Amino acid sequence: MPSVQPPAKILVTGANGYVGLWVVRLLLQRGFAVRGAVRTAEKGAALVKLLQYKEGERARAFEYVAVGDIDKDSAFDEAVKGVDAVIHTASPVVMSPEKPSDVIDPAVKGTQGILESILQYGQTVKRVVVTSSVVAVWSDVTAPRTFDENDWNDASVDELKAQGDNASGLLVYCASKVLAERDRLAAWDFFKTHKGDLPADLTTICPSMVIGPVADDPASPSLLTFSMKTWWDGVFGEEQTADSYVANGMSFVDVRDVAEAHVRAIETEEAGGERLLATSDAYVMQDWLDAARELVSTPSGIAKGNPGAGKAVAHLRLYNNEKAMRILKLQFKRLPETCKDTLEDFEQRGWLKA
């Protein structure tokens, strides 16, 4: 399927989310027209106002559509009409759901629903990009392993079936991403089933922990989305035990690179039919503390932990991002750059202690 270029119109679901808003802004900067899907007209009007402030004249190329609950039938029927590509970022990140269906239904049915809408009403759509996650890739390991696009976390789906309502929030989230990308009538299976009927092809992007500057204007750090609230609490929260800062190693990716990956996925013909990992450095929280304390002249508000201890951590889960770099011609920002830019963003908001 050919690439999609400006001034084509792109539908972005979850347009007011952490990743979605960066995607919207980047598309506008590239010269695309953007239709943002949000749940309510109130959220849409607020997004228009924000983009007018952030993007000036470029915001004229933005419109929104209120779709309600994305797990409802036909939610995206009107939204997909007349667009040239779809970037589907909308999916809940909830680590303490009341029940698994609170996460599974929007993730899976939302993906199924937008694909059904494209099949019925999206005959102008040439490319669909779906945001997945490395949690759909990884598995439990006891020795270091490097994962790539061929790996699937199918064990999380089996474990969720076994545990039911007793499943942890993380397990539910992992399973939701696997199911949305691979389950019957979801992303890859849907395109396989309807090969020849769909006007578009599919790319999925699997980011690791998304960290970086914020694209909107939250009034305080308490209103940050999950990944950035976790980062803020780790760096600027109350001092924890030294061991806690070297636990739970994972990989991160800069939010601006995630947005870039999504946009390049519609601009690049070779991205069609590909599953791509968007990842950068492996880390423990101590690595962020060390980087932040080097960057801030008076680091009184930054936790200390055990400086340098992160360098000795043997990370069990690593990721091969070579395919994404090669196809999308993208170099991922490293931890010190993301830390610097994030701190500067927060300083401009007046959030850092003097």
Instruction: Give residue 9's pLDDT.
Output: 98
List the beta bridge partners of residue 266: none
Q: Which tokens sit at 45?
A: 């009007």
With a cut of 80, say whether residue 150 has pLDDT above it.
Answer: yes
What's the sign of the alpha-carbon dihedral 338, 340, 345, 349?
Answer: positive
With a cut of 90, say whether residue 227 has pLDDT above it.
Answer: yes
What mean pLDDT is predicted for residues 294-306?
85
Q: Which residue has the tokens 């399927």?
A: 1
Q: Mean of the per-residue pLDDT values for the chain?
A: 94
Instruction: Give residue 100's pLDDT.
Output: 87
With a cut of 90, say whether residue 92 has pLDDT above it.
Answer: no
Instruction: Give residue 305's pLDDT.
Output: 94
**pLDDT tens digits, residue range 97-118?**
788 888 888 889 999 999 999 9
**pLDDT tens digits, residue range 268-287?**
999 999 999 999 999 999 99
With a cut of 90, say whether residue 230 has pLDDT above it.
Answer: yes
Per DSSP (E only), the strands in 79-200 are 85-88, 127-131, 145-147
**For residues 117 and 73, what is the distance between their CA atoms, to the nearest angstrom?**
9
User: pLDDT: is 93 or 258 the higher one?
Assistant: 258
Determine which of 120-129, 143-152, 163-172 has the lowest per-residue pLDDT on average: 163-172
With a cut of 90, say whether residue 45 has pLDDT above it.
Answer: yes
**Would you say 129 and 205 are in contact if contact means Cβ atoms under 8 Å apart?**
yes
Q: To the nearest 10°, the Cα dihedral for 83, 133, 119, 104?
A: -120
Closest CA to 128 of 180, 172, 93: 180
Q: Which tokens sit at 80?
A: 């997909």
What mean pLDDT is predicted for residues 206-232?
96
Which domains are delineated in the chain? 9-211+252-280+320-332 (3.40.50.720)
Instruction: Give residue 300's pLDDT.
Output: 75
Determine which of 89-93, 221-225, 306-310 has the lowest per-residue pLDDT on average: 89-93
**Which uninterrupted H or E stretch holds 253?**
strand 250-254
Rounded to a whole number of angstroms, the distance between the first and last alpha carbons of the chain is 53
Indicate the pLDDT class of residue 184, thresholds 50, 70 and 90.
low
**For residues 345 and 347, what is the distance between their CA atoms, to the nearest angstrom?**
5
Burial letters 258-273, b for 16+ CB under 10 A, else e: bbbbbbbbbbbeebbe
What mean pLDDT is predicted for residues 37-66?
97
